[in-house]
A and B are shown apart, each in its own frame.
Chain A
Amino acid sequence: MPVTIELHKTITASNDADARALREELSRKGILLVNLMSSPGSGKTTLLSRTIRDLPEISIAVLEADIDSDVDAGRIERLGARALQLHTDGMCHVDAGMTARGLEVLGEEGSDIVFLENVGNLICPAEFDTGAHKNVMLLSVPEGDDKPLKYPLMFRKSDALLITKTDALPFFTFDTEAAVRRARRLNPDIRIFCVSAKTGEGMADWEEWLLSCMN
């Protein structure tokens, strides 16, 4: 006779437990893990490159997650920072188990901040806790100010939103005020920074916030 056992566990229960354990372990080691999420082409690697150059006194390492290729890890390594390319092999997101394995291979000891550059995708990465202390998302000016309406979960899950490529504002009909209003409606506590990694505009505020998260 079969026995029915009621569980009522969230589907990602095993990932949630792995994520909590990883977060605690990194906190003990004094390492800040930041999960960076956005659409493909919104400027994650360019933002990181600029941040690494602007903060030479901080030891930054990067886990680059992509479905394929190692172009992003190559760009970061040329700046002298440690980087490891993770291939998700078709999977649309990174979970806590993959992050932990990536950190092990990268050798995160001695880093102040490790960035996880998640797969370029505004949907799935928001649903999986990677073990990061902070979730940061990018929305680039060419993508449009309507993205909070279309991909609400990512805006809800993020601690900070970077509106990137602000140097391109004169060429697009991007309404910054509308984007900010829509993001805040979904997440009243979200920190918002308007930046251009190309001109350096707004970078100091983002970097100041980042450093404040280290404590």
Chain B
Amino acid sequence: MHELGIVLHVMKTLEDLAPEHNITSIGSVTLEIGEVSGIMYEQFTDCWNYFRKRHPLLEKSELKIEILPAVTFCEDCRKTYETVRYGRTCPYCGSGETYLVTGNECSIKEIEAE
């Protein structure tokens, strides 16, 4: 139940930010989530729809998830490739000296205030 904890943190962050921006109701929340961040989108949305009812600020908020593709960089041949397709081993030179460049993100991109 990893998603549950993250949903609660997002809600807390938004409640803390709302007064700074004079917001009393949020219409939508857009999250940017990396393809290999480990977050299950469906469970996340279910948790969101359950818990938003408890927060007047978020009651009507629609959750939008933008998925960022995962890209890995090879230190040996200096090329990048699709992480989900090839994993940790570089498809060009077979090296294992690779690291993830993007795909692990979890951030609140923007909100729409009503």
Contact = CB atoms under 8 A, between A and B. Distances in A.
B4 A91 contact: yes
A95 B111 CA distance: 25
B27 interface: yes
B5 interface: yes
A14 B16 contact: yes
> Mostly helix, strand, loop or mixed at chain B's interface?
mixed
Interface in B1-29: 1-2, 4-6, 9-10, 12-13, 16-17, 21, 23, 27-28
Given A9-B107, A11-B106, A124 B9 contact: no
Nearest to A185: B97
B13 A13 contact: yes
B114 A2 contact: yes
Contacts of A188: none
Contact of A128 (B4, B5, B108): B5
Nearest to A7: B108
Contacts of B1: 90-92
Contacts of A133: none
A215 interface: no
A95 to B, nearest CB: 6
Contact of A2 (B9, B12, B106, B113): B113
Contacts of B2: 92-93, 123-124, 127
B110 A12 contact: no
B107 A93 contact: no
Interface residues of A, number: 24
Contact of A12 (B6, B23, B88): B6
A93 B5 contact: yes
Contacts of B109: 6-8
Nearest to A9: B108
Contacts of B16: 14
A3 interface: yes
A181 B103 CA distance: 25
A39 interface: no
Interface in A110-168: 123-124, 127-128, 149
B110 A5 contact: yes
A4 B111 contact: yes
Q: Which 6 A-B pairs have the closest CB atoms?
A: A14-B12, A11-B106, A14-B13, A2-B112, A6-B110, A13-B13
Interface of A: 2-15, 90-93, 95, 123-124, 127-128, 149
7 contacts: A3-B112, A5-B111, A5-B113, A9-B17, A10-B108, A11-B13, A95-B5
